[in-house]
Structure 1
Amino acid sequence: MLDAVLISQDILDLALRSTVNTDVHVAVSDHVVALRASLRDRLRDEGLDGIVVPFDFDAYNAQATVGENLLFGTMKRPLMTNRRLAAHPYFQQLFRETGLSTDLYAMGLEIAENAVELFHDLPPDHPFFQQLTFMTADDIPTYQALLQKLQSRRFEDATPEERSAIIRLSFAYIEPRHRFGLLTNELMDKIVSARKQFHAHIPGDLAELIERYDAERFTPSASLMDNVLFGRIAYQQADASERIRAVMGELFDALDLYDDVLSIGLEFDVGSGGKRLTMVQRQKLNLARALLKRSDYFIFNRPLSALDQRVQDQITRNIIEDLHKEGERPAIIWVLSNARLAEMFDRILLFDRGGLAEAGNYPELSEKNGMFKELLS
């Protein structure tokens, strides 16, 4: 049924975005290290070994954010944000001792200047803002005013709040993605050095909140995707994410984990009214829900309007075949968007301006010089 409405891949994607309950999905968590190795081997065999840059405690990962490189782990509690972490006294001390405060402040200023210059006159709903990880459309006026205030002022002259607002921009910066040319080899080395110092002397309260990346074990606070990748996908590779997802699906199947992973996706919190799903996903899900009932009667009123025509046609054919399995013949009334799909139905009713214009079967109406034949042409 999931395959009939072409939603299996969507559910797999939701699973990859989810954290895994290790008490429930033991098989998945137990096989993650093996999955990592299998993924690396598969990508290498296909000449795609550069598509994922693995995490390495001794090296800067250029495909990860500055914040991810500093932390080299995940935060166990969602309420502990990068902003709160940066305000922690230990982090503040680390920044002062390593000199990263001034480095990241300078980086943040350049990010703010570039972002304001490039995006200040764009409407808030412009698609560019979906790619802007370090700033929202609502932040632009705030940083525009802050830049004017900080003009010609040194780091020491800025207030702690102003420094924090600027420095936090650097945490979300990824050189290959944003391409402002701000990360030098010297700065990357300094960040790796600070990372080592951070973990070497981490205080107990932070140690309880941060789960360090470990190539030999599962990380419960990270998503399934992050656990299997144990790295970041290279931004320079076209269609890299799609290819990775396809390979992961095949690996889950090979290790007999596919159904377990799908069940993780089915547990995904879609939000009130499914607001965390796309319109396409909601329409597919509504269809799947209707099919579960295995009713004697089905009425579908253009249920796939958000999908492109090719996918609509495929799902329609899949559903008709699914409902006719094992000799079942439920009554199906379907308001179609593509007249050619009418050949799958026993009887066709064509309405025009609120009235019945033509009625008959497909062979009759396709031969008759009428409105239905015009729709087919």
Structure 2
Amino acid sequence: EYEKIPEALSGRRISYVGEQVNLFTGDLKYNLLYALRHDPVAPPTYPSSHLAYYRDRLQESKKAGNSPDDINSDWIDYDAAGCQNEAELDVKVLKLLDEVGFTEDLYQFGLSGYLKEDAKQELKDKILLARAEAKTLLQKDEFADLVEPFEMDRFNDNARLIDNLIFGTFDEKAHRYYYESIHPFVLSTLEAQGLKDLLVQKGIDIVKMLAALFKDLPPGHEHYETYRFMNLDDMPDYENILYLIETEGLENLEYDHLEKLLLLPFQFIPAKHGYGLIDDFLKTSIVKARQYFIQNLPYRYKKDVSFFDHVSVNLNLSIQENILFGKIVFSHFGASEKVRQLIKKAVDRSKLIKDIEKIGLLSFVGVMGSRLNPIQKQKIGIVRALLKNPDIMIVNGATKIFEGKMRDQIEGYIHQEMAGKCIVWALDGREKKSDFDQIIMLEKGVITNEQNSKASKTNAKMKGPK
């Protein structure tokens, strides 16, 4: 009978979740809602300047015999999920994630996430309120000295040198570019303030220090992570630069080589990487150069930089960094746990928790979900299967990975969400047989035993359609 059902129907009305969940490269929300993407339900809204291009592209697609459907349309079948709009669907998604114990993960993802450019002012105001709450909490003995705040007239020992120089962040596109090259006005600032040669020498010192440090370290040593701004594979290139300096002189070094040396101290964090290279004289000089950079930044470059401003949200900082408006002190033992407690209090007081969880839905899961651990992947797979509101749900070893109370809770939630519908569950011996109306024993694909269970009153409504 199943083979007679059209795939378009079976795919919508039947859910399957097995021992290993497959995820797509993309964000968390995309993976959760994938099973609800059936047909375009609402066309995208393009600005008038893009309409002609869109029409031309549509005509080309039709002439080539391709689908006229726009990939940028809203493809989510809200009715299938039992929702009327995106807001209701978000509520349902958060509810199901909470049921499988994913809320704390989602919250942490959200704290590491970023606001979009079109974020509502109401959300920005909440973040600023949380920042004010955090500032108040940091003045208490319990949380004292946990965070070094961004201050215009001070060097921040727990931030990178480049962050101290520009007193802000490059925007996303500029960051990707200027991580591998120097911003033109940063270079102009260093030259104007007489810091270029000094920082080139600091770059040379860093290469020598790391060459000696990495020489006898085994693979996987923690120092590789500490100094990850220096890729071990690039060390031969840097050592070659040192050789050229010794044989041909620093004054004859090509600009590309000078640039590589300059970029090294930019990534240096004194409190993390050691105070020896960044002395008080250099710190004072960087703060002075900061004033020059801010006051003289040309108009054409202003879009590249978002300055640290205590009365505004920085879109290039994570939610956590925006709330703290500073850097966690590396030398403070147990700082990370105490900071989590501080942020939680600030978030609760500013009623920001649900907003952060929604931001967490947009977190990148990595290539094929590589950023998630197996338990997280499995929870996502279960929620994805439940979100499509299926008539039949097939569970094949999907809860094996969970232990003890967590397993009992998740299995209970599956039964609860599927009440009145049909569950086909491949048992591994740890599930309660009394939870099911009918139990079928198979051996080599042949039914060897079949029995009805009267013991479960909780799931008496779970019989599938006849």
- The TM-score with structure 2 as length reference comes to 0.65
Question: How does 1:312-351 map onto structure 2 within 5 Å?
Answer: 312-325=403-416, 328=419, 331=423, 333=425, 342=431
Match for residue 229 of structure 1 among 317, 320, 324: 324
Query: Structure 1: how far apart are the matches of 2:197 and 2:415?
Result: 68
Answer yes or no: is 1:28 the counterpart of 2:123.
yes
SS in 1 for 2:311: coil
Matched with 2:231 is 136
Measured after TM superposition, the shift of residue 203 of structure 1 is 1.0
SS in 1 for 2:182: helix
Match for residue 104 of structure 1 among 176, 182, 199: 199
SS in 2 for 1:138: helix
Question: How does 1:1-377 map onto structure 2 within 5 Å?
Answer: 1-21=96-116, 23-45=118-140, 47-80=142-175, 81-83=177-179, 86-88=182-184, 90-120=185-215, 128-151=223-246, 155-179=250-274, 181-293=276-388, 295=390, 296-301=392-397, 305=401, 312-325=403-416, 328=419, 331=423, 333=425, 342=431
Cα distance change on mapping 1:350 and 1:38 into 2, 3 Å: farther
Measured after TM superposition, the shift of residue 232 of structure 1 is 0.6
Query: Structure 2: how far apart are the matches of 1:322 and 1:250?
Result: 29
1:127-180 CA-to-partner distances (Å, cap 9, x unmatched) read: 543332321232122223223333376543422221111110111111221126
Question: Structure 2: 5+ residue runs without aligned partners?
Answer: 1-95, 443-450, 452-466
**Which stretch of the first structure deviates more once superposed, 233-242 or 54-63?**
233-242
Cα distance change on mapping 1:124 and 1:303 into 2, 3 Å: farther
Question: Structure 1: 5+ residue runs without aligned partners?
Answer: 306-310, 352-359, 361-377
Cα distance change on mapping 1:321 and 1:278 into 2, 3 Å: closer
Q: 1:120–1:140: 8 Å Cα contact kept in structure 2?
A: no
Measured after TM superposition, the shift of residue 54 of structure 1 is 0.5
Moved over 6 A (4+): 347-351
Measured after TM superposition, the shift of residue 227 of structure 1 is 1.3
**Which stretch of the first structure deviates more once superposed, 121-130 or 217-226?**
121-130
Number of equivalent positions: 349
Kindly provide the amino acid, as one letter, of the partner of residue 231 in structure 1.
G
| Higher normalized contact order (CA 8 Å, seq sep 6+, divided by chain length) | 2
Q: Percent identity?
A: 26
Kindly provide the amino acid, as one letter, of the partner of residue 159 in structure 1.
E
Q: 1:73–1:213: 8 Å Cα contact kept in structure 2?
A: yes
Kindly provide the amino acid, as one letter, of the partner of residue 185 in structure 1.
D
Kindly provide the amino acid, as one letter, of the partner of residue 409 in structure 2.
N
Matched with 1:363 is none
Query: Structure 1: how far apart are the matches of 2:410 and 2:103?
Result: 14
Q: 1:76–1:209: 8 Å Cα contact kept in structure 2?
A: yes
Cα distance change on mapping 1:228 and 1:345 into 2, 3 Å: farther
| Cα RMSD, aligned residues only | 3.5
Kindly provide the amino acid, as one letter, of the partner of residue 202 in structure 1.
L
SS in 1 for 2:365: coil
1:263-310 CA-to-partner distances (Å, cap 9, x unmatched) read: 1111234355234444443333223223434555441425564xxxxx
**Which stretch of the first structure deviates more once superposed, 158-167 or 64-73?**
158-167
Cα distance change on mapping 1:317 and 1:132 into 2, 3 Å: farther
SS in 1 for 2:331: coil
Query: Structure 2: how far apart are the matches of 1:315 and 1:130?
Result: 33
